[in-house]
Amino acid sequence: MERREGRVRHGDIELYYEDWGRPQDPALLLIMGLSGQLIHWPEVLVRELVNQGLRVIRFDHRDIGLSTVLRSEGRYQVSRAMLRSSFGLSVQAPYTLDDLAADCIALLDGLHIERAHIAGISMGGMVAQILAADHGERVLSASILMSSPLMPGLFPPNPRMLWTMLSGGFGGRKPAGLAKPRPEDVADFLQKLSGRQHRSDHAQLVEVARLSLSRSYRPAGVMRQMLAVMATRDLRPRLRKVRVPTLVMHGRDDPLLPWWGGWIIARNIPGAHWQLVPGWGHDLPASMHHELVQRISALTRAAAS
């Protein structure tokens, strides 16, 4: 299976990417969520999508993984920003999700891809909403997974879990004197995101956490990404402009973003297909791979026809 890697420049930002499959096949851009690196799209899932006749691109957002890390020029109070965001008030941030959407367009430009299917998870699903609404001429179809429309009062539903992720300490159990948490502690936290029926394997989570920590550990970058989410206003008015085939999927057991956020997204996008999955949480366990591949690939084929 063909696999290429490289970097695309967007102003002062360099985005690291992997490009899987045949260049002549329809492109599918995978957009990861808050704090997630490209490796958090499981390689087996990527390969299964390629086997469906897709050219699959996964990449590191700015401030994460092997892409450019930024520096905050000012001091930002995340707790205050969370409070203001919950009431729909303005939030100061180094960048917004519109900038992350512009990064995606720059990545497509750098790879000479005129139009692509997109699939975004969590924060990546928010970026996918912006791309489908404001850059529809570049989008063939949109799969929005376990995401939120950023409606005031809806995000975040679980501040304690969110703060654990942002702090980088994963429950305050980072061993004294170490710059990074232990992979086992990261895996313990990530498994709490699983649903009752579809659960991630703990040993696999440990291995992914170990690879993630060796690639990059940027808690300050994750904090800036969170500020970008909170500085992006309610997406519902934009969603009514979406004219591309859209799939919205959400887990009934999602402990981080409530499933009714996905339902609101689907209600506001004309013709969107809504799929609520019992027993699925806020992760990509092996037991969900087949359904995700089938539904995303079916959407891409329907869009082509």
Given a cut of 90, is residue 73 above it in pLDDT? no
pLDDT-based confidence at residue 80 (cuts at 50, 70, 90): confident
Mean of pLDDT values over 284-294: 98
The predicted pLDDT at position 305 comes to 82
189's tokens: 């936290």
Mean of pLDDT values over 46-70: 97
Given a cut of 80, is residue 196 above it in pLDDT? yes
Q: Degrees (nearest 5) of the Cα angle 36, 249, 263?
A: 115
pLDDT-based confidence at residue 176 (cuts at 50, 70, 90): very low
Mean of pLDDT values over 81-90: 71
The predicted pLDDT at position 150 comes to 93
Catalytic (active-site) positions: 122, 254, 282
Distance CA 253, CA 195 (A): 5
The predicted pLDDT at position 171 comes to 45
Q: DSSP assignment, residue 182? A: -
The predicted pLDDT at position 14 comes to 97
- The top-level CATH class assigned to 3-155+220-304 is alpha beta
Range of weakest confidence among 117-121, 161-165, 168-172: 168-172
CA dist 174 to 61, 72, 117, 226, 252, Å? 25, 24, 39, 21, 31
Given a cut of 70, is residue 47 above it in pLDDT? yes
pLDDT-based confidence at residue 15 (cuts at 50, 70, 90): very high
Strands (E), 67-176: 116-121, 139-145
pLDDT digits (tens, 9 = 90+) for 248-282: 999 999 999 999 999 999 999 999 999 999 999 99
Cis omega (within 30 of 0) for bond into 152: no
The predicted pLDDT at position 172 comes to 43
Mean of pLDDT values over 89-97: 87
Give the residue from 211, 188, 252 showing the smallest Cα distance to 41. 211
Higher pLDDT, 1 or 40: 40
pLDDT digits (tens, 9 = 90+) for 197-206: 999 999 999 9
Strands (E), 94-164: 116-121, 139-145
95's tokens: 């960048």
Given a cut of 90, is residue 188 above it in pLDDT? yes
pLDDT digits (tens, 9 = 90+) for 118-163: 999 999 999 999 999 999 999 999 999 999 999 987 755 566 666 6
- Which residues, at least 6 apart from 79, have a Cβ–Cβ distance to it below 8 Å? none
Distance CA 245, CA 132 (A): 9
**Angle (deg, nearest 10), helices 219-231 and 123-134:** 40
Predicted model pTM:
0.93
Task: Give the strand pairing for 3-10 and 13-20.
Answer: antiparallel
The predicted pLDDT at position 175 comes to 46
The predicted pLDDT at position 71 comes to 79
Averaged confidence pLDDT in the chain: 91
Mean of pLDDT values over 10-28: 97
> Within its chain, how far is the Cα of 136 from the centroid?
19
The predicted pLDDT at position 90 comes to 80
Q: Which long-range contacts (CB under 8 A, 24 or more apart) does 135-139 make?
A: 135/101, 135/105, 136/241, 136/242, 136/243, 136/244, 138/105, 138/108, 138/114, 139/115, 139/244
How many percent of the chain have pLDDT more than 70? 89
Per DSSP, the three-state class of 142 is strand
The amino acid at 292: L
The predicted pLDDT at position 240 comes to 96
Given a cut of 70, is residue 168 above it in pLDDT? no
The predicted pLDDT at position 157 comes to 54
pLDDT-based confidence at residue 211 (cuts at 50, 70, 90): very high
